[in-house]
Amino acid sequence: MSFTANLVHHPRRLWLRRAAFQVHLWAGILLAVYLVLIALSGSVLVYKDELTRWALPPGLHAYQHARIASPEMVMTQFTAAEPNGTVINLQVPSTVLPVFLLEGKDGAGRPARWIADPITGCPHLAPRTWLDTVHDLHYYLLLPASWGMQANAVGAAILLLLALTGAFLWWPGLRAWTRGLRLNLRSNWRRMNYDLHSAIGFWTLAIVVWWAISGVYFGWYREVATIVSWVSPLQGMQAPVSASLSPAASGSHASLDQVLFAAESASPQGQLWSVSDPSLRTPESYVLLDRGAPGDFSHRDIVRIRTTDARVISVWHYGERHSLGDWVLWSMHPLHFGTLWGPVVKLVWFLLGLSLGILTVTGLLMYWNRYLRRLFSSRRGDR
């Protein structure tokens, strides 16, 4: 019988399937703990905004868009309270998080975070919480950021291999293909575990593949963007090339208000979300303005500004999609996190994240049922 005929009707006869099984088995064992941690932490982070709001300290003023303090006022109060501290990024209040969020380093050079009242702008040191640990686990595996992102990219690449070999192994043949779509509750627990692994693997295959691809992208985004651009040139999702500007006047330096005014003038349709280096200690700053709903990172203007004279260097209308390559890169973030399309999608992504953990556990149980249980039984018999 030909390879094609066996593939369609009797895939278990193929040596390629046996090879794929070994790859799937050992990749699954290698990634088991990693996948459970990533799945559970990812599910929790779907509700990060809600959990962060719930944990805000009492006594803060309610968010009112028309009355919020200016970022300049917040930074003035921060400098008075933390003269040796530095702020790397300042996020303004919104319906997503109704306080100023300042991230940087304290006077001793340790990573720190502060929240500031939306009306008075008074900053308070925010203690590290369990949610911060979950965030760092999911994004960086509790490693330094650059190492963690690349380690996650390696894990994502192995997950992609696991998903593709799993799809090949799932195929039972043309006559029995529907068997892998459902769970038979009348079977014994070992068969139910097998059916559950098979059914979850089928119904979550597309999103797991996308999680794997986007995980690789987050770690090696330049390389992935280059590969995508070979297939379909990037247009809207290509970072702009900065134009050369004339030198700033000697000794000049803009204020934060001037920098933000210039950014908002360059993006009149945008709503201020955050600004990097609000102390303006570095030559350039990045101002992020949302063109859609607050916190919608998929439609955001990124304005690069020279801090000495508030001259705009470049404006990137992130999220504009003119080519297939643009669509692919744009989809990486929203389809990975599932937080942009309301509570129903959030719930679905939360459950999908849990399903990846269940998929891992059922796979380990299959390994136990097929091999380890028999191995332990035979060794006991030898005694």
**Quick check: 224 and 267 in contact, CB under 8 A?**
no
Query: How many Cα atoms within 13 Å fall on the side-chain side of residue 142?
Result: 9
pLDDT, position 187: 79
**Cα separation, 375 vs 379, whole angstroms:** 6
For residue 181, the 8-state DSSP code is G
**Cα separation, 205 vs 13, whole angstroms:** 24
**Cα separation, 315 vs 327, whole angstroms:** 19
Q: Which residues contact 175 (CB under 8 A, 6 or more apart)?
A: 9
Cα–Cα distance list, 265 to 21, 99, 236, 257, 258 (Å)? 58, 24, 20, 12, 10
Q: Which residues contact 110 (CB under 8 A, 6 or more apart)?
A: none
pTM of the model: 0.88
> What is 256-318's CATH topology?
Nuclear Transport Factor 2; Chain: A, (3.10.450)
The end-to-end CA distance of the chain, in Å, is 46
**Cα separation, 294 vs 313, whole angstroms:** 24
Rounded mean pLDDT for each run of 10 residues along the chain, 383 residues in total? 66 80 92 96 96 91 91 95 94 95 92 94 92 95 93 96 92 72 78 89 95 96 94 91 67 88 95 95 94 90 94 94 95 94 95 96 88 66 56
Which of 163, 241, 146, 269 lies closest to 209, judged by CA? 163
Using only C-alpha atoms, the chain has a radius of gyration, in whole angstroms, of: 26
pLDDT, position 378: 63
Percent above pLDDT 90 for the chain = 70
**Cα separation, 308 vs 331, whole angstroms:** 36
CA dihedral (221, 222, 227, 233) positive or negative:
positive
pLDDT tens, residue by residue, 219-278: 999 999 999 999 999 999 988 877 666 666 666 789 999 999 999 999 999 999 999 999
Q: Which residues contact 239 (CB under 8 A, 6 or more apart)?
A: 316
Which of 207, 146, 167 lies closest to 354, judged by CA? 207
Q: Which residue type occupies 99?
A: V
pLDDT, position 165: 95
Taking each continuous run of H as one helix and of E as one strand, the counts in the chain are 13, 8
Task: Report the mean per-residue pLDDT for the chain.
Answer: 90
Which of 218, 225, 210 lies closest to 338, judged by CA? 210
In degrees and rounded to multiples of 5, residue 111 shows phi and psi of: -55, 135
User: Could you give the 3-state DSSP secondary structure of residue 25?
Assistant: helix
Residues making up the chain, counted from first to last: 383
